[in-house]
Amino acid sequence: MALRVIIIDDEPLAINVLKNYVEQVSQLELVQTFSNAIDANLFLQENEVDIIFLDINMPILDGLNFLESLKVTPMIVITTAHEEYALKSFELEAIDYLVKPIPFPRFLKAINRIIGLKQGASNFAHSGNEKPSIFVKVDKKKLQKIFIDEIVVVESLKDYIRIKTTSAKYIIHKTLGSFTDELPSDKFLRIHRSYTIAIDKVESIEGNSLEVDGIRYTIGRSYLNEAKSRILNDTMN
């Protein structure tokens, strides 16, 4: 089941940008857009949504005051041209804070985080037994859905990474560090500046290397102690 989304922003161009982004992600459903928080508030009194993309500087009722007034709070993603409201936004439990102009990769990172939080809370289990997944941009327009439990190894290729799954390989424009941050930390481990591995896919450990899917990978010196501890503890548990 798709996550229900509304957009609240008094700038038509900003609404159109977010609308286009939302339409590219199959797990999102754009329910409505609003040019002011008052109309959005009336809508929310009778309708449930999962995510609100919320601008701050709006006439009559600004985004932060609107957020404070909500009795039931969906996932809130702040979208603003101003950086100075970030602390206040997170105090009000906003999930993310996107500064305009918002690039699509940054938008997608926020969505992947929300999807991860939803899956971690087992919200998807009640609506279709959807396995945890993440979307990656594999070309200019295509978003590829990858199931988390199928990821084997992620390899750094300078400004790109190669994601090896149990059935395919994908090369995307992203750093290894930023992609690793989007993965569940209890299931994945960075073992080298060039590699992140799925802990449950490790087949053997020997010295300063380990084997995954028949291939041996060197464990970086600074990662060695944590890697062995995490992998061995995971195996024993």
User: Which pLDDT tens digit goes with each residue over 187-198?
Assistant: 899 999 999 999
- Phi then psi dihedrals of residue 231, to 5 deg: -70, -45
Tokens of 66: 């609107």
Find the mean pLDDT for residues 98-109: 92
Q: What is the pLDDT at residue 145?
A: 86
| Segment 124-140, tens digit of pLDDT | 334 344 578 888 888 76
25 and 107 housed in the same domain: yes
Bridge partner list, 151: 165
Residue 133 included in any domain = no
Question: How many angstroms from the chain centroid is the CA of residue 83?
Answer: 21
- The pLDDT tens digits of the residues spanning 178-224 come to 888 888 888 899 999 999 999 999 999 999 999 999 999 999 999 99
Q: Would residue 137 count as lying in a domain?
A: no
What's the domain range around 193? 150-236
> Do 224 and 173 have their domain in common?
yes
Sign of CA dihedral 72, 77, 79, 84: positive
Looking at residue 140, its pLDDT comes to 65
In this structure, are 119 and 21 located in the same domain? yes
- Domain membership flag for residue 191: yes
CATH number of the domain enclosing 48: 3.40.50.2300
Q: How confident is the model at residue 90 (pLDDT cuts 50, 70, 90)?
A: confident
Does 62 lie in the same domain as 24? yes
Indicate the number of domains in the chain.
Answer: 2
104 and 12 in one domain? yes
Looking at every residue in the chain, the average pLDDT score rounds to 87
